[in-house]
A and B are shown apart, each in its own frame.
Chain A
Amino acid sequence: EVQLVESGGGLVQPGGSLKLSCAASGFTFSGSAMYWVRQASGKGLEWVGRIRTKPNSYATAYAASVTGRFTISRDDSKNMTFLQMNSLKTEDTAMYFCVRPGCGGDCLEYWGQGALGTVSS
């Protein structure tokens, strides 16, 4: 059974940093790209970014709203992916979901339960 468990959420002041972690199990983690998707309270889904696999040079891509501030990384030896968030703004307050794509990359097949990041003074 595929499981994705996020952790590391919390309260941080504007301009601060927060690092989220996602522990994966139930599939060959090193063979899968991993995504992060966020959702502000009462709002829709927003793709944050993704990291590809080692054969694809661990290539990353990010939404325009977070480029230059957020960094996605992974540790295949620990079956984990990370979302480092710097220079946080109040509008970054959201539930952050770790997602494993599927369907040959054409769908977001498995979702974690989410970790809440709150940016407030």
Chain B
Amino acid sequence: QSVLTQSPSVSAAPGQKVTISCSGSSSNIGSNYVSWYQQFRGTAPKLLIYDNNKRPSGIPDRFSGSKSGTSATLGITGLQTGDEADYYCGTWDPGLTSGNWVFGGGTKLTVL
């Protein structure tokens, strides 16, 4: 069971917009920056969004992030078939007795 909660799947048509939510608590999302990771089947995850809403160099502005309270959201506009992947949120949780980085369970994006 993941510390952060994400919907297992989301789908939308090409060109449409989709949002992926990530819910946590005051000890993790509520107190720390959230980052998002994109993972294609059989490959390593890739940093997509950091510090809640910043994009690393090379990430198109179709991808956006936001945070409010103990929840965060990843938005993807102008969906492309190449966006089909698993998306994970992650953050610190220093409140845990051991271990201090936590993830959501991942959301599988299908572009119909």
Contact = CB atoms under 8 A, between A and B. Distances in A.
Interface of A: 35, 37, 44-47, 49-50, 61-64, 67, 97, 102-103, 106-114
- Which applies to chain B's interface (DSSP): helix, strand, loop or mixed? loop
What 6 pairs between A and B have smallest CB-CB spacing? A63-B99, A107-B50, A47-B101, A107-B35, A111-B44, A106-B33
Given A97-B44, A108-B47, A108-B90, A44 B100 contact: no
Interface residues of B, number: 27
A106 B35 contact: yes
B106 interface: yes
Contacts of A106: 32-33, 35, 50-51, 92
Query: Which has the most chain A C-beta neighbours within 10 Å: B51, B97, B101?
Result: B101
A113 B44 contact: yes
Contacts of A37: 101
